[in-house]
Amino acid sequence: MKAPPVLARGKGLRGLAPLAGRRAAQLLPRARLGGPMPWVIAIMVALTVIAAGGGLALDNLAGKARGDLGGLATVQIVEADRAARQRQAAAAAAALRVDPAVVRVAPVPEDRVAALVEPWLGAQAAAGGAVPLPALIDVELAADAPSGTLERLGARLAGLAPGARIDAQSEWLAPVLGALSALRWMAIGLIALLAFTSAAAVWLAARNALGSNRATIEIVHHLGGTDAQIAGIFQRSILLDSLAGGALGLVLGGLAVAMLGARFAALDSGLMAGGALTRGDWLLLVVIPLFAVAIAVYTARMTVLASLRKML
Amino acid sequence: MSAPENEMVQFDNVGLRYGTEREVLSNVSFTLFPGRFYFLTGASGAGKTSLLRLLYLAQRPSRGAIRMFGSDVITLPRDRLPAYRRRMGVVFQDFRLVEHLSAFDNVALPLRVAGVREADLLRPVADMLEWVGLAGRSEARPATLSGGEQQRVAIARAVIGRPDILVADEPTGNVDPEMALKLIRLFEALNRLGTTVVVATHDVQLLRKVPDSLIMRLDRGMLADPTGALRYPPRRGMTAESGA
């Protein structure tokens, strides 16, 4: 029996072509999008995009509120006698105007103060002077004002206007900012949990795929396939699945975020408008599926390599 | 233990046990030389498959030493073992073909693993399939092939990489006597090209078909070598326990 030329050679055929692409893909028989992996990743990415979108919106909201109100303070002159109150208010305003840490001083007109309390006191009581209302002065501090400025101003005003009380607007905003911060941390925690869950799902899927393709893996192993070659076969499969799932998840999550954004914008609230996502935020959301793909591929590789190490 | 360069495989006092059971192989010592044809015989349960698993590096022994191609494969890091496996061809008793691949792709698999480009493997694979009489079935999946055809695909896959050593576990167990003889002739042709062949079989009729073959007989995990021929084989044509 005459042997074929390939056997008549002194040595076996060898080369440097990687076991990749179609050559590798054919070793794992699975219809694309047929398994659960792309759908699991799509759901994970969609949830992550929604959580991240919410977190970014809250961050923007808190940032805008802090920026708008952080440097503002209100001086109240609490004095029952109208003339004394007006005198103290004028003295306080004059002192504030010359202070280098103050960029704007705006006494609030009496009728506006009355309008503010009218819902609680009634028009007659508020405007008629039946109830003495404090004089208010809006103050805006310089952006580079040192941290103890309000205390310093308070001490200075105490001498000029004994009835003066100074309140930073950030003080009453603090609970709101605290709540926003808590929500933002919750979003970050949610993202971390989703990343962990995605990795766990990929780990399970890779183990499942490894189990159902064990015979093929053993054959490739016996034929001299290296761990890296075999891991590469799975990586490719997971890469394609996670790319498809990631793209789908991004579309679903992006649509949800855009719809929520439109609903909040429809509230026509200045505060809510501050939470609108910027172009940079949207770019960040687009990066999420890429992270998901990286996590999926890395997890699959580590899972397969760990399993292969148990074989000789 | 030192091994002369022309010794392909050397087992020295090798023992193998699974878990805490008694040893399935005990004190097995033999040497495989390049270009020789070996039959491994023994009753069912004698340890033939276990010995072959050690030979094709699917298992480490519980004790003893194994050298292959000049290296101690027991202490070799596992990331260096694929290079040794590529120098071997294995025909499994149950064929172990990849079910979803065609006959062509199954035969091409060792070349793809070895990094051969697609353009360079088309001709050799087609030649191999023709050599084993399956030129017309190259696109057939294993499930559509008969037992004998699957066996020949498995053999083509085992030898296409031109291995230094071919290990076959009961390669004729699923085929009729006529096909068994054809397969043995295939192994002989490969052996004539310089490949060491080890065929595990319980078919004593087969042993007579290959002149100058050496017979390794396993009995309850012990290798019978009364003349020492398995450690110090006579030159060709003078084989003491030949199948001729």
Per-residue pLDDT, A126 = 63
Q: How far is B228 from chain A (nearest CA, A)?
A: 31
Alpha carbon B201 to its chain centroid, in Å, reads 11
pLDDT exceeding 70 applies to what percent of chain B? 92
Q: Does the pTM exceed 0.80? A: no
Q: Does B237 touch chain A (CB under 8 A)?
A: no
CA distance A135 to B215: 114
* Per-residue confidence band for B4, with pLDDT thresholds at 50, 70 and 90: very low
Which residues are bridge partners to B169 per DSSP? B200
Nearest to B197 by CA among B229, B165, B170, B221: B165
Which of A3, A16, A218 faces B189 most closely, judged by CB atoms? A3
pLDDT at B243 over 50: no
Per-residue pLDDT, A187 = 86
Q: Does B124 touch chain A (CB under 8 A)?
A: yes
Per-residue pLDDT, B17 = 93
Per-residue pLDDT, B180 = 83
Q: What is the largest CA-CA distance in chain A?
A: 124
The average confidence (pLDDT) of chain B is 86
Please give the structure tokens belonging to residue A252: 């679903």
Nearest to A225 by CA among A122, A114, A156, A311: A311
From chain A, pick out residues whose CB is under 8 angstroms from the CB of B163: 12
Nearest to A274 by CA among A186, A139, A180: A180
Per-residue pLDDT, B242 = 41
Q: Tell me how long chain B is.
A: 244
Per-residue pLDDT, B62 = 94
A to B CB pairs, distance under 8 Å: 122
Which residues are bridge partners to B68 per DSSP? B9, B71
Which of A8, A17, A219 faces B116 most closely, judged by CB atoms? A17
Per-residue pLDDT, B175 = 76
- Is B115 in Cβ contact with A223 (below 8 Å)? no
State the average pLDDT over residues B38-66: 92
Nearest to B221 by CA among B73, B40, B69: B40
In tens, the pLDDT along B72-106 reads 999 999 889 999 999 999 999 889 999 989 999 99
State the average pLDDT over residues B40-54: 90
Contact A35, B136 (CB under 8 A): no
* Per-residue confidence band for B25, with pLDDT thresholds at 50, 70 and 90: very high
Per-residue pLDDT, A295 = 87
Per-residue pLDDT, A30 = 59
From chain A, pick out residues whose CB is under 8 angstroms from the CB of B128: 4, 6-7
Count CB atoms within 10 A of the CB of residue B208. 11
Contact B95, B151 (CB under 8 A): yes
CA distance B100 to A29: 7
For the beta sheet containing A135-141, the strands, ordered from the edge strand earlier in sequence to the opposite edge, are A102-108, A135-141, A72-77, A164-168
Q: Does B244 touch chain A (CB under 8 A)?
A: no
Contact A251, A38 (CB under 8 A): no
State the average pLDDT over residues B204-233: 82
The letter for the amino acid at A287 is: V
More confident residue, B170 or B241: B170
ipTM of the predicted structure?
Answer: 0.84
Per-residue pLDDT, B5 = 45
From chain B, pick out residues whose CB is under 8 angstroms from the CB of A29: 100
* Series of mean pLDDT values for 10-residue runs along chain A (312 residues): 68 68 67 69 92 87 73 86 88 90 89 82 69 87 81 86 81 79 87 85 77 84 89 84 92 93 71 75 92 87 86 82
Burial grade of A260 (CB within 10 A; 0-12, 13-18, 19 or more):
middle
pLDDT exceeding 90 applies to what percent of chain B? 48
For the CA atoms of chain A, what is the radius of gyration? Answer: 34
